[in-house]
Amino acid sequence: MAKQKTKPVKPVRRSGFIARIRNNFFTGLVVVLPVFLTIYMLWAFVGFVDNRVLPLIPEQFNPRSYNDTNVRGAGLVVFLIFTTFVGSMMKGIFGRQLLRFGENMVDRVPVVRSIYNGAKQIVETITSSSDSNFDRACLVEYPRKGIWAIAFISTATSGELLTKSGQKAMYSVFLPTTPNPTSGFLLFLPAEDVIILEMDVEAAAKLVISAGLVMPPTAAEIKAAKAQGVRVGSSPKG
């Protein structure tokens, strides 16, 4: 009687299962980590404001005097109410006169003047309307020819800078650093050396903050997606 040949048993491949677990983990990480960091930063910011504001409140009005537990956000609420009250006072004639008097006093102190004016310009830039913010992203060659960098157009250069440069048209361009776009370089470039991009400022900012990992879609991809009724956003590289 002939022996029946048995087929060799193939080993079970677990690489596919492990790969799925790994992909699910990283997918969940992309969702959970930004939420966690956002909540953590907001929680830390509220605690920072509470620790600075609550000690300045008189004891009879301080919630810590009546409650042993720490009421998170009490200092932030007091700060918002106080700031709103000061803003309403400064809109009046007396408030404007008082503010002008205080700024004149500050301008007489060399070091304090520089700190105050710098902080005031930063706050005014952050809280200003969108008309004075960056409205176009561009591509410039920096730090040398052949190397390209994302930048944002501030304004069209005018006045003495344009006259003495000998150029017909120039742009004032802010070149941000990665991954912190709040710092960077102010460049004055000839208009022909600035390539204006189709992507909006938000997409360009994401590209800078992510160090090139989040690539915005092209205009053709956005148009095709709109035709199909699909919303297209910036996608990770690859």
Residue pLDDT, tens place only, 112-145:
888 888 888 777 766 665 445 677 999 999 999 9
Task: Give 62: exposed, middle or buried? Use CB within 10 Å, 0-12, 13-18, 19+.
Answer: middle
**Cα–Cα nearest to 187, from 175, 197, 179, 177:** 175
Question: What are the helix (H) ranges across 54-190?
Answer: 74-90, 93-107, 110-127, 160-165
Say if CB 194 and CB 173 are below 8 A apart.
yes
Whether this model's pTM surpasses 0.85: no
pLDDT of residue 126: 64
Q: Which residues contact 80 (CB under 8 A, 6 or more apart)?
A: none
Sign of the CA dihedral running 201, 202, 205, 206: negative
Q: What is the mean pLDDT of residues 99-106?
A: 86
Q: What is the mean pLDDT of residues 142-155?
A: 92
pLDDT of residue 223: 73
pLDDT of residue 191: 93
pLDDT of residue 7: 56
**Cα–Cα nearest to 149, from 204, 90, 216:** 204
Q: Where are the domains of the chain?
A: 132-236
Evaluate if residue 11 carries a pLDDT over 90. Answer: no
pLDDT digits (tens, 9 = 90+) for 35-78: 898 899 999 998 898 888 888 888 777 777 777 667 788 888 88
pLDDT of residue 53: 87
